[in-house]
């Protein structure tokens, strides 16, 4: 099962058994329930999903897996605005292909080392 920002609310918040697996989950869930009752707080509902994604660690995931009997893959969103690669000249194609940022980039060379910076 994959957990991402779009389905974490349905999977985690609606299941009371997972509260014991995640630290501070009870507090976040109570705040989330209050926001569900207030129709003007749709933005805050999304923020609860982001907060919960940050709270999930390996122990929490193992606890949830043991309860549902299924392997969980957590798909986190990248909030980075830039990324850098430092590589030798002969490995530039492999390094760029491993990176999914290829929208804008800047390249700097220092002897036999290439510095590549990507940004959104």
- For residue 100, what pLDDT is reported? 64
Same domain, yes or no, for 93 and 56? no
Phi, psi of 59, rounded to the nearest 5 degrees: -65, -40
Same domain, yes or no, for 19 and 66? yes
* pTM of the entire predicted model: 0.55
Same domain, yes or no, for 36 and 86? no
Domain of residue 111, residue span: 82-119
Same domain, yes or no, for 89 and 65? no
Could you give the number of structural domains in the chain?
2
- For residue 45, what pLDDT is reported? 64
- For residue 78, what pLDDT is reported? 62
Same domain, yes or no, for 62 and 98? no
Residue 105: which residues within 8 A CB-CB, separation 6 or more? Answer: 116, 117, 118, 119
Cα distances (Å, whole numbers) of residue 2 to 11, 13, 57, 65, 75: 10, 15, 15, 11, 7
Buried b / exposed e along 71-84 (16+ C-beta atoms within 10 A): eeebeeeeeeeeee
How does strand 2-3 pair with strand 73-74? parallel
Same domain, yes or no, for 62 and 11? yes
Cα(57)–Cα(59) distance, integer angstroms: 6
120 residues of the chain, pLDDT tens digit each: 888 878 888 887 777 777 777 777 777 777 777 777 776 665 566 777 788 888 888 888 888 888 888 898 888 766 666 777 787 878 777 767 766 655 677 888 888 888 888 776
Q: What angle do the packed helices 42-55 and 25-37 form, to 10 degrees?
A: 170
């Amino acid at each position: 099962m994959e957990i991402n920002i779009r389905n974490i609310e349905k999977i985690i918040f609606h299941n009371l058994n997972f509260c014991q697996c995640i630290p501070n989950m009870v507090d976040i869930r109570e705040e989330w329930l209050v926001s569900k009752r207030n129709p003007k707080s749709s933005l805050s509902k999304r923020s609860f999903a982001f907060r919960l994604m940050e709270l999930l660690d390996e122990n929490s995931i193992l606890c949830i897996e043991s309860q549902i009997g299924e392997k969980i893959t957590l798909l986190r969103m990248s909030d980075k605005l830039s990324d850098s690669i430092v590589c030798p000249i002969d490995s530039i194609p492999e390094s760029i292909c491993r990176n999914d940022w290829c929208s804008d980039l800047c390249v700097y060379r220092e002897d036999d080392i290439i510095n590549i910076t990507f940004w959104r």
